[in-house]
Amino acid sequence: MKPAGFDYYAPRELNEALNILGDAGENGRVLAGGQGLMPMLNLRVLSPALVVDINRIETLNGLRADKDCLTVGALVRHADLLRSPDVCVGWPLLKEATQQVAHMAIRNRGTVCGSICHNDPAAEHPSVLVTMGGTVVIAGRAGRRELAAEEFFTGMLSNALEPGEMVVELRYPHPQRLVRGRHL
């Protein structure tokens, strides 16, 4: 099957992406790893007028761990988590869950943020982010805001993003900073 026609943009700067998405409003979609979006386009479940490919925006590649928090940028792939000694040692639940995601080809391409945004009820990452008391960092051209994971997920295949917004990073508190899902 083939998708309906759409305009395609592949900006190198985050601000440019946010401006394009802001202009497009409800007619725009972000393309990250494409493992969820492309089937939806091909089946015509979604028919956006415009797709913004974020893969050339280098600032979205960050994966950083410190003693309190793991920060996962919008282009961090499932496989990047599994290659990270910080994640494997410090965030073992995240490692265990990521190992269950599909197979290697999907894990090499699909992003953690894409899985969060797609919010398939069968997916591993949304429930892990909620369980770990994580935070979703959202950007639009008007600025940034942060939502607790449990506020981000609004229902099956849906989330709290407003038109023109995208997720730029996720934050996972260090497990030792949590007691029953609450920050110490």
Ligand X SMILES: Cc1cc2nc3c(=O)[nH]c(=O)nc-3n(C[C@H](O)[C@H](O)[C@H](O)COP(=O)(O)OP(=O)(O)OC[C@H]3O[C@@H](n4cnc5c(N)ncnc54)[C@H](O)[C@@H]3O)c2cc1C
Residues that bind ligand X (CB under 6 A): 29-37, 74, 101-102, 106, 110-111, 113-115, 117-118, 123-125, 161, 166-167
Distances (CA, A) of 79 to 49, 72, 100, 102, 106: 31, 12, 11, 11, 9
Q: Which is nearer to ligand X, 43 or 68 (CB)?
A: 43
Q: How far is the CB of 34 from ligand X (least distance, A)?
A: 5
Q: How far is the CB of 104 from ligand X (least distance, A)?
A: 11
The least CB distance from residue 92 to ligand X, in Å, is: 18
Task: Report phi then psi at 118, rounded to 5.
Answer: -65, -40
Q: 174 — phi, psi (to 5°)?
A: -65, 135
User: Residue with CB nearest ligand X?
Assistant: 110
Q: Which is nearer to ligand X, 87 or 101 (CB)?
A: 101
Q: Give Cα 132 distance to the centre of its chain.
A: 16
Please identify, using beta-carbon distances, which residue of 25 and 176 lies nearer to ligand X: 25
Contact predicate 144/137, CB 8 Å = yes
